[in-house]
Structure 1
Amino acid sequence: FKREGRPTEKETITSRLIDRPLRPLFPPGYRMETQVIALVLSADGENDPDILAINGASAALVLSEIPFYNPVGAVRVGLIDGEIVFNPTNSERDVSDLDLVVVGTEEAVAMVEAGANEVSEDVILDCIFKAHEVIRTIVHAQHELFRHSNLEKPVWEAPEAYSKELFETVKAAVYGDFKKALFTKEKFARKAATKAVQQAYLDTLPEEDEETRGKVKKIFDTLEDEILREVVLKERIRFDSRSLAEIRDINVETGLLPRTHGSALFTRGETQALVTATLGTRRDAQIIEEYEGESLQKFLLHYNFPPFSVGEVRFLRGPGRREIGHGVLARRAMTPMLPHEDDFPYTVRVVSDIMESNGSSSMATVCGASLALFDAGVPMRAPVAGVAMGLIKVGDDYAVLSDIAGQEDHHGDMDFKVAGTRDGITALQMDIKIAGVSPEIMGTALAQAKVGRMHILDIMERHLPAPKEDLSRYAPRLYTMEISKDKIRNVIGPGGKTIRSIIEETGCDIEIENDGNVIIASPDQPAAQRAIEIIESLTAEPEMGAVYNGKVTRVEGFGAFVEILPGTEGLVHISEL
Structure 2
Amino acid sequence: MKVVVEREFAGRKLSITTGEIAKQADGCVLVQYGETVVLVAAQSGPPRPGIDFFPLTCDYRERMAAAGKFPGGFLKREGRPTTREILTSRLIDRPIRPLFPKGYHEEVQVMANVLAFDHENDPDILAMLGASAALCIAPVPFQGPIAAVRVAHVDGEFAVLPTQEQLDVSDLDLIVSGSKDSVLMIEGFAAQMDEERMSEAIMFAHKHIKTLCEIQEELIEKVGNSPVEYEAPPANPFDAIVTEKALDKIRAAKEVSGKHAQADATKAVRDELMEEFFPEGVEETADGATIGDLKKAFHDVEARAIREMTLGGKRLDGRGPTDLRAVSCEVQILPRVHGSALFTRGETQSVSTVTLGTTRDEQRVDGLFDDYGKRFMLDYNFPSYSVGECRPIRGPGRREIGHGALAERSVKPVLPSSENFPYTMRVISDITESNGSSSMATVCAATLSLMDAGVPISQPVAGISIGLVKEGDEYVILTDIIGNEDHFGDMDFKIAGTQKGITGIQLDLKIDGISEKIIRETLAQAKEARLDLLRSILSAIRRPREAISSFAPQLLQTSIDPSKIGLLIGPGGKTIRAIQEETGTTLDVGEDGTVTIAGAGGSQVEDALARIEALTEEIKVGKIYSGTVSSVKDFGAFVEIAPGKDGLCHISELSDGYVKSVGEVCKEGDKMHVKVIAVDDQNRVKLSRKAAMVEMGESDEKAESDES
For the superposition of Structure 1 and Structure 2, which TM-score range results when normalised by the shorter chain? over 0.9
Residue in 1 that maps onto 2:233: 159
Is 1:78–1:97's contact at 8 Å kept on the other side of the alignment? yes
Q: Indicate which of 242, 245, 263 corresponds to 1:173.
A: 245
Post-superposition Cα deviations, 1:128-155, rounded to whole Å, max 9, x if no partner, equal 1232121112112212211111234442
Residue in 1 that maps onto 2:172: 98
Residue in 2 that maps onto 1:18: 92
Secondary structure of 1:34's aligned partner: strand
Q: Give the AA of the match of 2:514.
A: V
Residue in 2 that maps onto 1:200: 272
Residue in 2 that maps onto 1:413: 490
Q: Indicate which of 596, 614, 628 corresponds to 1:537.
A: 614
Q: Give the AA of the match of 2:629.
A: K
Task: Quote how far apart the aligned CAs of 1:169 are.
Answer: 1.9
User: Relative to structure 2, which stretch is displaced further, 90-99 or 54-63?
Assistant: 90-99
Residue in 1 that maps onto 2:32: none
Q: 1:548 to 1:426 in 2, by over 3 A?
A: closer
User: Relative to structure 2, which stretch is displaced further, 262-271 or 175-184?
Assistant: 175-184
Residue in 2 that maps onto 1:146: 220
User: Relative to structure 2, which stretch is displaced further, 496-505 or 509-518?
Assistant: 496-505
Is 2:363–2:375's contact at 8 Å kept on the other side of the alignment? yes
Q: Indicate which of 472, 477, 501 corresponds to 2:549.
A: 472
Q: Indicate which of 71, 78, 84 corresponds to 2:152.
A: 78
TM norm structure 2:
0.78
Is 1:553–1:563's contact at 8 Å kept on the other side of the alignment? no
Residue in 2 that maps onto 1:328: 405
Q: Give the AA of the match of 1:272.
A: Q
Matches of 1:574 and 1:448, distance apart in 2: 83
User: Relative to structure 2, which stretch is displaced further, 21-30 or 542-551?
Assistant: 542-551
User: Relative to structure 2, which stretch is displaced further, 295-304 or 210-219?
Assistant: 210-219
Task: Quote how far apart the aligned CAs of 1:401 are.
Answer: 0.4
Structural mapping, 1:544-563, within 5 Å: 544=621, 546=624, 549-553=627-631, 561-563=638-640
Matches of 2:253 and 2:626, distance apart in 1: 87
Q: Identity rate of aligned residues, in percent?
A: 49
Is 1:161–1:215's contact at 8 Å kept on the other side of the alignment? no
Q: Indicate which of 214, 227, 251 corresponds to 2:305.
A: 227
Task: Quote how far apart the aligned CAs of 1:29 are.
Answer: 2.4
The unaligned stretches of length 5 or more in structure 2 are 1-69, 72-76, 654-661, 663-708
Is 1:359–1:405's contact at 8 Å kept on the other side of the alignment? yes
Matches of 2:614 and 2:154, distance apart in 1: 48
Matches of 1:482 and 1:79, distance apart in 2: 33
Secondary structure of 1:168's aligned partner: helix
Q: Indicate which of 508, 519, 523 corresponds to 1:431.
A: 508
Matches of 1:293 and 1:530, distance apart in 2: 37
Q: Give the AA of the match of 1:189.
A: A
Is 2:247–2:302's contact at 8 Å kept on the other side of the alignment? no
Structural mapping, 1:348-497, within 5 Å: 348-435=425-512, 437-497=514-574
Matches of 2:325 and 2:640, distance apart in 1: 72
Post-superposition Cα deviations, 1:65-85, rounded to whole Å, max 9, x if no partner, equal 222232111111122232221
Matches of 1:547 and 1:167, distance apart in 2: 92
| Structure 1 residue 243 corresponds to structure 2 residue 320 | yes
User: Relative to structure 2, which stretch is displaced further, 192-201 or 32-41?
Assistant: 32-41
Higher strand share: 2
| Structure 1 residue 343 corresponds to structure 2 residue 445 | no
**Greater relative contact order (Cα 8 A, min sep 6): structure 1 or 2?**
1
Task: Quote how far apart the aligned CAs of 1:562 are.
Answer: 4.8
Task: Quote how far apart the aligned CAs of 1:440 are.
Answer: 1.7
Is 1:506–1:528's contact at 8 Å kept on the other side of the alignment? yes
Matches of 1:383 and 1:203, distance apart in 2: 53
Q: Indicate which of 284, 304, 307 corresponds to 2:384.
A: 307
Secondary structure of 1:38's aligned partner: strand
Q: Indicate which of 208, 214, 221 corresponds to 2:292.
A: 214
Is 1:402–1:448's contact at 8 Å kept on the other side of the alignment? yes
TM norm structure 1:
0.95
Task: Quote how far apart the aligned CAs of 1:575 are.
Answer: 7.4
Cα RMSD (Å) = 1.9
User: Relative to structure 2, which stretch is displaced further, 526-535 or 452-461?
Assistant: 526-535
Task: Quote how far apart the aligned CAs of 1:561 are.
Answer: 5.0
Task: Quote how far apart the aligned CAs of 1:416 are.
Answer: 0.3
User: Relative to structure 2, which stretch is displaced further, 137-146 or 369-378?
Assistant: 137-146
Residue in 2 that maps onto 1:263: 340
Secondary structure of 2:107's aligned partner: coil
| Structure 1 residue 89 corresponds to structure 2 residue 172 | no
Task: Quote how far apart the aligned CAs of 1:402 are.
Answer: 0.4
Matches of 1:436 and 1:347, distance apart in 2: 40
Q: 1:172 to 1:294 in 2, by over 3 A?
A: same
Task: Quote how far apart the aligned CAs of 1:543 are.
Answer: 4.0
Matches of 2:359 and 2:593, distance apart in 1: 15
Is 1:490–1:566's contact at 8 Å kept on the other side of the alignment? no
Q: 1:563 to 1:82 in 2, by over 3 A?
A: closer
| Structure 1 residue 522 corresponds to structure 2 residue 522 | no
Residue in 1 that maps onto 2:683: none
Task: Quote how far apart the aligned CAs of 1:511 are.
Answer: 1.0
Matches of 1:403 and 1:373, distance apart in 2: 23
Q: 1:206 to 1:350 in 2, by over 3 A?
A: closer
Secondary structure of 1:301's aligned partner: strand
Higher helix share: 1
Matches of 1:127 and 1:312, distance apart in 2: 41
Secondary structure of 1:123's aligned partner: helix
Q: 1:127 to 1:487 in 2, by over 3 A?
A: closer
Matches of 1:238 and 1:213, distance apart in 2: 30
Is 1:413–1:432's contact at 8 Å kept on the other side of the alignment? yes
Matches of 2:524 and 2:562, distance apart in 1: 54
User: Relative to structure 2, which stretch is displaced further, 256-265 or 507-516?
Assistant: 507-516
Task: Quote how far apart the aligned CAs of 1:548 are.
Answer: 5.4
User: Relative to structure 2, which stretch is displaced further, 269-278 or 143-152?
Assistant: 143-152
Task: Quote how far apart the aligned CAs of 1:497 are.
Answer: 2.6
Secondary structure of 1:443's aligned partner: helix
Task: Quote how far apart the aligned CAs of 1:550 are.
Answer: 3.0
| Structure 1 residue 40 corresponds to structure 2 residue 117 | no
